[in-house]
Amino acid sequence: MKIDIIIAYIQRYKKGHAVDFVPPITGIHLAALTPAKYQVNVIHQQVEAVHLDTDADVIAISFFSGFAPEAYHLATAYKKRGKIVIAGGPHVTYCQDEALAYFDAIVVGEAETVWAQLLDDCEKGCLKTVYQGQPCDMQQMPTPRYDLLKGNFFIPRVIQATRGCPFTCSFCTVPSLNPGFRLRPVEEVIKNIQYNKFPYWWQRKVVWFWDDNLTINRPYIRQLLEAMIPLKKWWLTQASLDIAKDEQLLDLMKASGCIGIFFGIETFSKESLGDANKRQNKIEYYKKAVDALHKRGICVMAGFISGFDHDSPESIVEMADRLLEIGVDVPFLSILTPFKGTPLYNQLEKQDRILDDRGWEYYNGYNVAFVPHRMSPETLLESHRNLWKRAFSFTHSIQRIWHSLRHLRLGALYMSVCMNSFYCSKQLTGNYPLEASTLDLGKDKKPTENIARAPQSA
């Protein structure tokens, strides 16, 4: 039996080859969990086209809410060709009835505990419609199938050492999707890091930890980082701001090769932090945290969100200057999105503020899917665009790169220059995230035609 695992995306792929920074870990992780008797292939739509004329027997599609229209489009086309089509991912978990209208079977929750059984049922012709995954214990997880990546990712080595986050931010799906906080054995993580069959030196050098909050368990992270020191790798992850208060941990991060940390700063409004249930963030500490990482030469990447109830058009655009003031090297800018399964969605639904006429393509962090409190949806979108234009203007980008030159060591500087140049070039050419594919989608626009079609029509 042959299986194609597709990570759906409204992609930038058109002709030739596209590239991206990091692949999602889902596809290559599922491929590693697939019993050896099956043939498996992984397709990341963000860098390659899918093929409807595949000889695979089973099509497994994983997707987030923003890519649901594309996933449903693919599922319909594959089912017409007689394929068994299954689905999983956050959107499927929270929209089960909707997904079952398009797929033969769905996986709800984490797939590790049901994946092998699902494939066995496919082979025997006794497929169930719903497979309820349980939280896995993270023990004896295989090395992801990096060999199935097509070479179009700048940092292909993604690793998950932990799963879960103790915080309960109102806009985040992690607490309900990945309950608790679980750890992989350090020796298994090190084995993943030692995989070196990548074509380019930087791909062999850099590790991206695909963790919700890697540094929560201090004894564990210290053990892991101590074991990483002899490997002489560069690594990146996301963590909470409070790590900047732990001087010993920061020194160990530097010694083990840390070149970048992503923080979810989100906002400069104390009221908005309260609304988001993110009171662990202290605005007065932002710059101190950034400075503490810069002292070790570590690149600071930070997420900022537009659209909280206390935001105004002016405060949104002003964020561009404030993130310069605190010294963030690479900002990631998004619009507040009420994903199903989150307290934010439940709150806005009760307040009748979900825009029902806007499809799932609006749920990608770069469109407006709800009624803001202090402005119209159109004004929020325009304000976010203006923030994007200002933050990634040539002037602001050069200021950040110049600041990085003064504070960051080689690997961290490389990341800062690459990311700022990438986003600045997008702004200068008028292409916004999601590569402009969904920012202007109206409710009647169809999914992108990012399919290498068979001769017959879909």
The pLDDT score that the predictor gives to residue 451 is 41
* Digit-coded pLDDT (tens) for 266-286: 999 999 999 999 999 999 999
Q: Write the DSSP symbol of residue 1.
A: -
Residue 131 exposure: Cα atoms within 13 Å on the Cβ side:
27
What residues are paired with 306 via a beta bridge? 335
Percent of the chain with pLDDT over 90: 80
* Digit-coded pLDDT (tens) for 144-190: 999 999 867 888 999 999 999 999 999 999 988 888 899 999 999 99
Task: Check: CB of residue 308 under 8 Å from CB of residue 267.
Answer: yes
The torsion angles phi and psi of 2, rounded to 5 degrees, stand at: -110, 140
* Digit-coded pLDDT (tens) for 432-455: 554 333 333 333 334 444 443 332
Is the dihedral angle over the CA atoms 243, 248, 254, 258 positive or is it negative? negative
Which is nearest to 451 in space by CA: 151, 75, 45, 150? 45
Task: Check: CB of residue 336 under 8 Å from CB of residue 328.
Answer: no
Strand ranges (E), 285-338? 299-306, 330-335
* Digit-coded pLDDT (tens) for 201-226: 989 999 999 999 999 999 999 999 99
Separation of alpha carbons 81 and 458, rounded Å:
9
Separation of alpha carbons 432 and 436, rounded Å:
5
Single-letter code of the amino acid located at 71: A
Helices (H) and strands (E) counted in the chain, each on its own, are 17, 16
Q: Domains of the chain by range and CATH?
A: 2-137 (3.40.50.280), 154-428 (3.20.20.70)
Is the dihedral angle over the CA atoms 191, 194, 199, 204 positive or is it negative? positive
| 38's tokens | 């099956």
The pLDDT score that the predictor gives to residue 432 is 52
The pLDDT score that the predictor gives to residue 268 is 97
* Digit-coded pLDDT (tens) for 115-132: 999 999 999 999 999 999
CA dihedral 70, 20, 238, 411 (to 10 degrees): 180
**3-state SS class at 441:** coil
* Digit-coded pLDDT (tens) for 316-369: 999 999 999 999 999 999 999 999 999 999 999 999 999 998 999 999 999 999
pLDDT at 262 over 70: yes
pLDDT at 17 over 70: no
